[in-house]
Every structure is written in structure tokens, then in C-alpha cells.
Chain A
Amino acid sequence: MSTATSEFIQSLPTAEQAIARLRELGMPRRNNELWSFFPVAKIPTPEFMGTDFATVSAASPTDQASPTAPAHSSSDEAVQKETDFAALLPIANQARPMIREIVPGAAEMAMLKCNNDFGHTVLEIGKGAKVSLEILDNKVTHDIAAERFDINVGENADVEIFFANPACDLPLRFRHFNINQAAGANVRFSSICRDTAIGRISVECHLKGEGANFDYRSLHILDGEASQHSRLTIYHEAPRTVSTQLARNLLSGSARVSYDGSVIVGYDCTGVNSSQLVNTILMSEDASVSVKPVLKIYHDDVECTHGNTVGELDAEQMFYLVSRGIPKKTAQEMLMRSFAQETFLPLPDSPAKKRLMAELEK
């Protein structure tokens, strides 16, 4: 194991620290901005936390870490920065971290699959490496599953992280990603979610080096009672860093999606460019979406945008297709597919794009 990886592992909270921190935080409450859209009443008390945990009073809503905060220097300090219940769960449950190092300059394609409900993966990606990483569903036996991924990306490395898992009816699933990018590192994070139950994906991305670029694309195609929630926090901690967020949702039945995206631009981070766009098509009256953009900008010379659209399938486009003889249902499917495919069309040709586009052909 390299020194950097070893130091990083040392900086992570221990199981005892994670449990103590979870007790400090308490069960998620709606008045905590990390969980403001989530149906927190559906979260069961984790068995390993003991029967008294449900009664632990929640800590006051926690602020995000300051963009100028010093780097972690010890696990004691690190654990205080852990504010997300879902991120702490795997460590608290003693999930043994799966550590993978990719050497500088390497080109690798990999698939990750945890063997338990509670998985923890640590990835150290060396300078200039080119990595394509698909995350597969873990094996689940309990009524709550939580995975955590700590991904450190070296200078000028190019990484794609993606998943398009088959529809899953797990009662509750959390996935937390903690991504640190050095100068010039590119990360493309792309996902398709068709889960039928409740889930939450949280991403905390630190753009630490000049010119680092984070591209996030998600597509939710949900029906029935599905309830899926995304929580992103992107820290621009260096000049000329770029982040892009595109979230698209196709919602039927009484499906619900929330998108809670924060962008924080630190002091002296000149030339930052950040965009966030959420597009939702509601296919039924009971489907719903909640979007909360947050921009905290501590420097003048930056460009940050956010947008949100909610609508139905375009009536004129529907008419056009149907007026050429195409049955209404097929026309709807064509428009939905085009809406979905456009999420990933701008991606460069890669295993991720191929996999995601193929998934949408199903």
C-alpha cells in the first residue's frame, strides 16, 4: 500500500468513532438540510446501533465544512467533518474497506461489487491514470443497505464512474461518494436509477487542484411508489475548476425525486465555472419532484448557473409523431427515450456511455 493510501486510511474514522459520531448526530431529521427532502420516517434503526439509538436526540442542523478549512490531519478531526448519516453507516458497521490502488499512468476498466449490505471502497487513482469504473449492486440481506466510496483521483487522471443497475426493490439503499480530485483530474459520474423503493445517493466532491473537472449526470426513471433522493455538494477549492450537474427525471405513478445540489466556491478560486440543471417530466398527476439549488460563492470571478424545468411530454412533438402514423404509446416511448438519451449524449465515447445508452435501449 502506498504512503498516500496508508495516510488516507489512517484519516478515516474508526468504527468506534463512527458510532460515537452517529450517536452525536442522531437519526436523520427533516430539519437537517442534508435530509430536508428525504422521507426520514422510513429509515429503520440500524440493528448494530442498539435499540436505544432511535431515541437519541438529533444534533442541531450541521453546516457544511468551510471551503477554506484545513485538510484532515487526524481521524479525530476527520470524524467531526463527517455529517452524513449514510456515509458513516458502513464504517460504524465495521465494513472492512476494500482498497484498490491504480498506479500512475495505468489504463484500467473495473467493476465493483460489495459482498455485504454495508460496503466501503477506497480507491487511489494515480497521476495520469485512465479508469472506467462500473459499480454493480451489492448483495443485500437486510432492510437497509449503505455503501461508501472514497475515491482519490491524482493529477491529470481521467476517471469515469457509472452505474445502471437493474431495478431494485430494496426497502432502503444509501450510496455515498467522497471524491477528491487533484489538479487537472477529470471525473465523470453517470448513473441511471430505476429502483422501485427508497434510495439516496450522496456525493461530496472536492475539486482540490487547479483545472479539476467534475461532470455529474443522473437519470431517474421511476414509477409506482419509488422515492429517490440525490444530495450533491461540490467544493471548488482551487482556481479554474469546473463542475457540471445534469439531472433528468421521468416520473410516473406517485414516484418522487428530490435533488439537493450545493456548489461552494472558495476564496481565491478564480475562473471557476459551475452549472446545475434539473429537467423533470411528470407523466402522472401524483408524481413529484423537489429541487433545491444552493450556491455559496466566496470569490467574484466565477460563473455559476442553475436551472430547473418541470413539465409534461411536449404536446406538439407528440402530435407530430402520431400524425405520421405512430401509435400514441410508441410515440410517448420515443420521446421519453430521447429525453433520457440526451442526458448522456455529450459524454465522450467510452464504456460508460456505451453501457448507459444500451441500458436505455431496453
Chain B
Amino acid sequence: MLSIKNLKASIEDGTQILKGINLEVKPGEVHAIMGPNGSGKSTLSKVIAGHPAYHVDGGSVELDGKNLLEMEINERANSGLFISTQYPTEIPGVNNVEFLKMALNSKRAFLGQPEMSDEDFKKLCEEKMNLLEMDERYRERGVNDGMSGGEKKRNEILQMAILDPKVSFLDETDSGLDIDALRIVANGINHIMSPEKAVILVTHYQRLLDYIKPTYVHVLRHGKIILSGGPELALKLEDQGYDWIEEA
């Protein structure tokens, strides 16, 4: 489904952040990526999304056999990729619901589908907002405008629920969430997840993985995946940190 092969990327000053990432994600799988700060986790998500601040030095990223790196940013999203960044951008003045509708209809246009009617969109929006226990205020606000960290993360998952991507890359979605919000967001992700879809979670903590059971756990360090394992690996990392990996 998502195939990342020997992905290398650098920032403007030439510093290479990703030094050969390899990752195979199949439908129905949940992959957790853990690693110390500065290891390249957020860079990985942005490079896949096509953020202009990063330069791809080599490798490939394929979604269902199509090279994402050759696509425009919006085409990657419309092909089924959803990236949730660690710090969602605030866009005052662009209404949250109007933005969601524009995004959904852009995807539908890309897929050759007709625009969703206002009535159907309203129903869809209500259903997903109920799933995430979001109140009506979200409709009136600008995109992430003036929202707390937790509210922004919930808003990101609302977008994911409405856009219904094949692969979601969620960068520290659990940060800024209180216990109840974590449960709600995690339940939302589990609800959206299906055997045809995949999720990649970047997290520092086991607590998110208590709610969303990973198929695989990977450790990213110095721009490379240096260790992969099952769910038990996250428990060991929570208990022992990262130093033992290099020592081993």
C-alpha cells in the first residue's frame, strides 16, 4: 500500500535529516514510529506530504504503486494520503466547515466524482463531529484558529474522518490531549480505521498505543529506522528508553 524505499531528504542548508528510510505498510496495519527528539520523525511526515522546506535526495515513496514524490502536494492528498502535523497551522478567516467542504470536494473532483451536496455534507460533518464529541463552535471558527492544542488535534482527526484517506500519518496526535480527549481521539481513529486503510502513528508514549494497538513498532534514530518489532517493543521503550538499542 505505502512503500518507502531508501528515502533520503535534507533541509535548505544541505543538512541531511532522513538518511535512508525503508518502510512497508500494508492495508489494515497500524505502524507506530517512536524515537528520540530530532531523530527525523516529523521530517518524514513532511517529506512524504511534499513540504517545500525539504529536498528529497533520493529514494521513493509509493502509494498503491504510484510515486508520491512526483505528484503535486494536493495530488498526494487526493490520492489517499493524510498527514497530520505536530503543530497544526492556524488559518484565521478561513471557516473550518467551508475549508472541510472545499477539501472534500477537491478530492471528489480529483477522483472524477460530483460535488457533495450541502445537505449530504452537513450530515457527514454532523456524524463525524458526533463521533469526536465536538460541539457546534467548531463550525463557526477559522481553521484551528484560537483552538487549544487538544482542540486542534481533534480538529485534525475530524478532517481525517471526512477525507477518508487510505493512509494517515499522524504526527504526535496524542500531544496536548488530556485523558478524556485522548480516549475520544483514539476511538475516532479506531472507528475510521478499516482493513483497507492504514495508519502510521508517531508518538513518544505508550498511552496512545493502549488505545490504538499497533501492528508494528519502529524506532527512528539519526534519520534511519534502526529497529522494528511488535507492540511489545513500545512497552520496552517506555520502560528502558532508547539507549539500550545502540548499546545492543
B58-96, CB < 8 A from A: 72-74, 76-78, 83, 85, 88-89, 91-94
Minimum CB–CB distance from A50 to chain B (whole Å) comes to 51
Inter-subunit contact B83/A330 (CB<8 Å): no
- Give bound CA distance, A317 to B99, whole Å: 12
Question: B143: CB under 8 A from chain A?
Answer: yes
Inter-subunit contact A324/B159 (CB<8 Å): yes
Closest to B79 in A: A325
- Given A325-B77, A327-B74, 14 extra CB contacts under 8 A: A317-B91, A320-B88, A323-B49, A323-B50, A324-B77, A325-B78, A325-B106, A325-B107, A326-B74, A328-B72, A328-B73, A330-B102, A338-B142, A342-B93
Minimum CB–CB distance from B81 to chain A (whole Å) comes to 9
Quick one: which of A323, A334, A339 contacts B83, CB cutoff 8 A? Answer: A323
Q: Which residues of B contact A317 (CB under 8 A)?
A: 89, 91
Question: A48: CB under 8 A from chain B?
Answer: no
- Give bound CA distance, A341 to B52, whole Å: 28
Closest to B144 in A: A320
Contact with A along B161-179 (1 / 0, CB 8 A): 0010000000000000000
List residues of chain A with CB under 8 Å of any chain B CB.
315-317, 319-328, 330-331, 334-335, 337-339, 341-342, 345
Question: B122: CB under 8 A from chain A?
Answer: no
Minimum CB–CB distance from B91 to chain A (whole Å) comes to 5
Question: B56: CB under 8 A from chain A?
Answer: no
List residues of chain B with CB under 8 Å of any chain A CB.
49-52, 72-74, 76-78, 83, 85, 88-89, 91-94, 99, 102-103, 106-107, 110, 142-143, 159, 163
Contact sample, A vs B, 7 pairs, CB 8 Å cutoff:
A324-B103, A324-B106, A327-B74, A328-B74, A334-B94, A334-B102, A335-B94
Known A324-B99, A325-B78; judge A338-B83 contact (CB<8 A).
no
Minimum CB–CB distance from B15 to chain A (whole Å) comes to 20
Closest to B94 in A: A338
Q: Which residues of A contact B50 (CB under 8 A)?
A: 323
Inter-subunit contact A335/B73 (CB<8 Å): no
Closest to A342 in B: B93
Closest to A341 in B: B93
Inter-subunit contact B163/A319 (CB<8 Å): no
Q: Which residues of B contact A338 (CB under 8 A)?
A: 91-94, 142
Inter-subunit contact A330/B106 (CB<8 Å): yes
- Give bound CA distance, A335 to B91, whole Å: 8
Known A319-B51, A321-B99, A334-B99; judge A326-B89 contact (CB<8 A).
no
Inter-subunit contact B106/A326 (CB<8 Å): yes
Q: Which residues of B contact A319 (CB under 8 A)?
A: 49, 51-52, 73, 89
Inter-subunit contact A325/B74 (CB<8 Å): yes
